[in-house]
A and B are shown apart, each in its own frame.
Chain A
């Protein structure tokens, strides 16, 4: 059974003068368990709106979203439970930190869930470990940390809620390469341990290609494609029409394959590219 399903989901608001402005238009998709889903799209394509819809922060104006087969908005008063089941971190999540210590900030979610002190403690320590936060900074003020550490603290704050679905809205934006890689690695490790669904919104195609099982391509509120990264990135012409690019390695390998008249398969991961190039070189030598 799919974990999250969208049936004809639209979100629009009144743009004045009787016009409805659509942020999300009649989306249909279903996400199976234990998958990392990438979401790509141009600015204003509806990525963030989609994230807020899945998290229950905003209500679809049409259609419904099913979580484990149950409509999110079936019980209006219970929407807080949905926030706990579908965790969401916004862009620049470090701006939401407010407690005196990193520990307390991560504990904010679990305490809101009404857990006992003992449970909160285990949750916080686990989340900190997943997010790669070392024990000695748990007692420091979140305002004194570096950018990457702040980001990881904020992400740990959502992981501590122990959601079934984790949505990350551009978790690596504004970080240096090392900070970026650390965050991606922690997300990947977390996913491998928990086997839950992760929805990963990003502008960086390389990250999407390396991490994701399936990719959603959004444009002006429409779901244009929902397929494996391999298939999505083999449609480079469609992507460039939507203002998106394929990963660099895909472009390079396309040229390599054309020049050497070898295979025409789409390569999206660095490791595959290396293997492929070695194969081609070996062939030439023979």
Chain B
């Protein structure tokens, strides 16, 4: 059984190699940019920027579409509904339905925003491994230590939890099969029977998860986990020229969007 953790697609593109901390900050900044853009020109520039990032990730557009298709479809529907909720001069009316200029604007703006946001975050997910994500998060959350938040322990908990998911799934599958070959009837109908079937699978699974957790905690203690305050990593996060370039380009995009909002405002809200 192959289980994909998160949506990470291994690769070696520039986006894959960016410092995860920079990627986190960039994603956050991009979200702000996307939601503060209200001129058509600004939205066009953002969409262009998104397209460039998608190309840079070296992941086929088809895969992006497959992963965002359903949510994108729902966005389209909600955007379409936006059409009918504008006030002002109607452009088109038929019975009680009327579409105003503002409705159309609203609809286009909302749609482009959500589209961009979705593609950008998917791009982030595709190019950042769960490990990079947690390490990046750990590094970014470090300032919280000052207020007594134990960031390192928090991060190690997340990492272990992520690691336990595929292991537990394999284990559950094995237990399911072995109870099935002892004749546990999986086709029985009715809630009581279904619950009765649950016990032979969930109980051993819990036992096994606890056993693993216990063994892991022993192994961690044997390696002196918690003995020293500052923990180091096998992979050091490094900010290089390309990361600074990424931040600079996003800053440029921000300025561009603010500028466009000024010179080409659409009359929204």
Name the one of B175, B185, B199 contacting A96, with C-beta atoms under 8 angstroms: B175
Contact of B183 among A52, A95, A161 (CB under 8 A): A161
A29 within 8 A of B: no
Would you list the 6 A-B pairs with minimal beta carbon distance, nearest first?
Answer: A112-B183, A98-B203, A96-B178, A109-B182, A83-B181, A88-B181
**A157 contacts chain B at the CB level, 8 A cutoff:** yes
Alpha-carbon separation in the docked complex, A200 to B179 (Å): 20
| Complex contact B182–A83 (CB within 8 A) | yes
Interface: B184 (CB within 8 A): yes
- Give the B-binding residues of A (Cβ under 8 A): 52, 55, 57, 80, 83-84, 87-90, 93, 95-98, 108-109, 112-113, 143, 157-158, 161
Q: Is B171 an interface residue (CB 8 A)?
A: yes
**Residue ID in chain B nearest A16 by CB atoms:** B2
Q: Mark B173-201, 1 if CB is under 8 A from A, else 0.
A: 01101111111110000000000000110
- When distances are taken between beta carbons in the complex, the residues of chain B under 8 Å from A57 are 177, 180-181
Given contact pairs A95-B175, A95-B208, a sample of 8 additional A-B residue pairs in the complex whose CB atoms are under 8 Å apart = A55-B181, A57-B177, A83-B183, A90-B177, A98-B200, A108-B183, A112-B182, A161-B182
Residue among A83, A88, A96, A109 with the most chain B CB within 10 A? A96
With a cutoff of 8 Å between Cβ atoms, the chain A residues found around residue B200 in the complex are 96, 98, 108
A contact residues around B175 at 8 Å (CB) = 95-96
A90-B174, A112-B185 known; A97+B204 contact, CB < 8 A: yes
Min CB distance A18 to B, Å, is: 15
A144 to chain B minimum Cβ distance, whole angstroms, is 12
Question: Are B182 and A98 in touch, CB under 8 angstroms?
Answer: no
Beta-carbon nearest neighbor of B202 in chain A = A98
30 contacts between A and B (CB under 8 A): A52-B177, A55-B181, A57-B181, A80-B183, A83-B180, A83-B182, A87-B181, A90-B178, A95-B171, A95-B174, A95-B175, A95-B178, A95-B208, A96-B179, A96-B200, A96-B204, A97-B204, A98-B199, A98-B200, A98-B207, A108-B183, A108-B200, A109-B182, A109-B183, A112-B182, A113-B183, A143-B207, A158-B181, A158-B182, A161-B183
Complex interface: chain A residues within 8 A of B183 (CB) = 80, 83-84, 108-109, 112-113, 161
Chain B positions near chain A (C-beta within 8 angstroms):
171, 174-175, 177-185, 199-200, 203-204, 207-208
**List of B residues within 8 angstroms of A112 by Cβ:** 182-185
Q: Determine the chain A residues whose CB is within 8 A of the CB of B171 once the complex forms.
A: 95
- The interface residues of chain B lying within 8 Å CB-to-CB of A98 are 199-200, 203-204, 207
Q: Are B204 and A95 in contact (CB under 8 A)?
A: yes
Q: How far is the CA of A40 from the CA of B1 in the complex (A)?
A: 23
A90 to B200, CA, bound (A): 15
Chain A CB count within 10 A is highest, among B181, B184, B185, B203, for B181
**Bound complex: CA of A98 vs CA of B207, how far in Å?**
9
Which A residues are CB-close (under 8 A) to B181? 55, 57, 83, 87-88, 158
Q: Cβ of A52: which chain B residues have Cβ within 8 Å of it?
A: 177
A92 to chain B, nearest CB (A): 9
Query: How far does the alpha carbon of A57 sit from the alpha carbon of B180 in the complex, in Å?
Result: 8
Closest beta carbon of chain A to B203's beta carbon, Å: 4
Residues of B within 8 A of A87 (CB): 181
* Minimal Cβ-Cβ distance residue in B for A108: B182
> B180: shortest Cβ distance to chain A, in Å?
6
Task: List, in ascending order, chain B residues with CB within 8 A of A97's CB.
Answer: 204
Q: Which residue of B lies closest to A58 (CB)?
A: B177
Residue of A nearest to B203 (CB): A98
Bound-state Cα–Cα, A52 to B200, Å: 19
- Measured between alpha carbons, how far is A8 from B187 in the docked complex, in Å? 30
Contacting residues, chain B, for A89 (C-beta < 8 A): 178
Closest A-chain residue to B199, C-beta based? Answer: A98
In this complex, what residue of B is CB-closest to A83?
Answer: B181
Question: In the bound complex, what is the Cα–Cα distance between A109 and B171 (angstroms)?
Answer: 20
CA distance A52 to B178 in the complex (A): 10
Closest beta carbon of chain B to A99's beta carbon, Å: 8
CA distance A96 to B182 in the complex (A): 10
Q: Residue of B at shortest CB range from A55?
A: B181
Shortest C-beta distance, B269 to chain A (Å), equals 47
Nearest-neighbour CB distance to chain A for B57, whole angstroms, equals: 19
The answer for the CA separation of A277 and B179 in the assembled complex, in Å, is 48
* Closest partner residue, chain A, to B207 (CB atom): A143
* B179 / chain A contacts, CB cutoff of 8 Å: 96
Closest chain B CB from A95 CB (angstroms):
6
Contacts of A113 in B (CB 8 A): 183
| Complex Cα spacing A96 to B208, Å | 9
Nearest chain-A residue to B174 (Cβ)? Answer: A90
Q: How far is the CB of A88 from chain B (nearest CB, A)?
A: 5
